[in-house]
Amino acid sequence: MANKRKVACVESMTQIDKMELKSDGTEIAAKLEGNESAVKSQISIQDNPPAKRSRSADSLSDVKVATASTSAVASSTMMDGQLHVVVNSTSEATQQPIGTALPIHPFFAKHSTTTAVATNAVLSNLPAVKWTHTSSVLVATYLSQPQTSRIASFDFDGTIVKVRGNHVHAKNADDWTFFHPSVPDRLISLHNQEGYRIVIFSNQKGIEGNDTRSKNRKASFMGRVENVINAVRKKAEKEGVPVPPILVFAATGDDWNRKPRPGMWEKFERDWTAGVVVEKDKSFYVGDAAGRHAGHKPGASKDFADTDHKFALNVGFPFLTPEAFWHSRTTTIPSPDRQDIPRSHHAPHPTFDPRRYLRDDPTTSANVPPTLPPASTQPELILFVGSPASGKSSFARRHLLPHNYVHVNQDTLKSRDRCIKASEAALQQNKSVVIDNTNPDRSTRRLYMNVAQRVGTKLGREIPVRCFWFLADEAVCMHNNVYREVMSRMGRDGHWEEPVRASSTSSKNKPESKPGQGLNGVTVRLPIIAFRNFTARFEPPGEDEGFAEIRKIEFIPEFDSDEERKRWQIFYV
């Protein structure tokens, strides 16, 4: 009868690189990666009675590892006086026969009186998911990655998997099921029969922090990824076909890497293709954030977002929804004209497309102000009216400041009272002024009309006030809002750069910032509430307010380089 000895109670996480059991069977050594999950597992060792144990090679024993969601089986061999243990795991709670398998979610950590020693060695016959977290991208690789020109790419949640129930977010590593029963078969055939490389691009904001909630979310995501990979592996092994290599990218922040922005794709193309040119017209991306209308399937509400569709447009891939892809047995790329069909599995084209916007622009002549007033009628006051990020400041810099207009901006001066005082002082010095604020309602605009009247009375002449009304709608402005942050963070090589943060709150250590910008010259992205507040307060300017002219300014972006133009045509929100 075999004896059992409890060796360790450890915390479950993601992967085991190596375990070694000394010849006396009392110590286990393991390389541990991570310590974030609260799931507990117990290791027990079943071996021959001590009296009958042989110290020669070929002496075997079984190590069985079981958790709430996983089980692992380890074979061991006596070599050079030591018993070497190889752990193989499955995604079932029952113990399985010894075989080559992927260790799914647990990491093993020392939690007993038994000695646990980390080792850097990795067993070559233990296929494991390898995790790296650089900047704001978490990357998982499984098996050696093929260098192929065709990419089958997917979102993860709501596309590869769904939760077990009606709730929105997964509760733990086991809260998942395949989105459709065909998922594992299709992934296998995409690689083995159709020659695609399998890549997942997923937004996973909220897993980057060091707080308990973030750590639990990270453990849940990593566990679900490994469980999915293990299920696909088991399916392939059962059918006796090669297991498809899988590569996963997860954006953990709200920056250039978060979809629909193409940062994850650029990282893949730069670091993971080995120079192989991707055939974008023969590749595709599948995701559930497609911008579909309510009723696209019986009882369905409209999609929560369209970021997956926009990500595909940014990358240049044909786009499919999960329903359209998994329900088909063959990979059929839809033609662009089919993607605008309302209430279908196909995605309608985004309402705002920056590429189409540039093609369909009104003539640039509409953006040029009339001839500046002659010197005899100076000074004048120009009052801007428009949403945040509607192009007001850029317009002032290009068309008014070169003519010595005094620039008055509340982002710079920090209060409305200071803006009023600055504009009044400049007008009294016979200088023209441009008020570069949103000025959404009549009451706000009246404050500056009063300034012109007061100064005009002192100077003994009328000071004309012109209104420049910037017409960009909310979609354009929210696009510009992210674009200008992105451009301020781009390095000379065209790659996103995280701003360097001050190491102290002392003003001596704070990097200098430009007006209207954050640290290190990084433009601060405005919250959505800033746009909603403007819309709620907005009153169209009227001639009865006393303006000498109301000039409507269409938003027509002006670029200093082709790179700026290229970046503006990307979907950001």
Q: pLDDT tens digit string along 317-329?
A: 999 999 999 987 7
Q: How far apart are CA 257 and CA 254, in angstroms?
A: 7
Q: What is the mean pLDDT of residues 279-304?
A: 92
Q: What is the pLDDT of residue 314?
A: 98
**CATH class name, domain 364-475+514-568:** alpha beta
Q: What is the mean pLDDT of residues 266-292?
A: 96
**What would you report as the CA-atom Rg of the chain, rounded to the nearest whole angstrom?**
31
- For residue 275, give Cα distances in angstroms to 19, 137, 148, 271, 496: 37, 21, 10, 9, 21
* Residue range 166-214, pLDDT digits in tens: 999 999 999 999 999 999 999 999 999 999 999 999 999 999 889 999 9
Residue 117 in this model has a pLDDT that exceeds 60:
no
Q: What is the mean pLDDT of residues 240-258?
A: 97
Angle in degrees, CA 57, 61, 63, rounded to 5: 135
Q: What is the pLDDT of residue 288?
A: 96
Q: How far apart are CA 69 and CA 193, in angstroms?
A: 32
DSSP of 66-103: E-SS-EEEEEEEEETTEEEEEEEEESSSS---S-----
- For residue 129, give Cα distances in angstroms to 200, 222, 225, 327, 375: 14, 10, 9, 28, 73
Residue 521 in this model has a pLDDT that exceeds 70:
no
Number of Cβ within 10 Å of residue 251's Cβ equals 24
The residue extents of the domains of the chain are 1-126, 129-350, 364-475+514-568
Q: What is the pLDDT of residue 565?
A: 93
pLDDT band at 299 (very low <50, low <70, confident <90, very high): confident
Q: How far apart are CA 365 and CA 378, in angstroms?
A: 24
* Residue range 400-410, pLDDT digits in tens: 999 999 999 99
Q: Is the pTM of this model over 0.95?
A: no
* Residue range 5-29, pLDDT digits in tens: 433 333 333 333 333 333 333 333 3
Residue 111 in this model has a pLDDT that exceeds 50:
no
Percent of the chain at pLDDT above 70? 67
Q: What is the pLDDT of residue 50?
A: 39
In the CATH scheme, what is the code of domain 129-350?
Answer: 3.40.50.1000
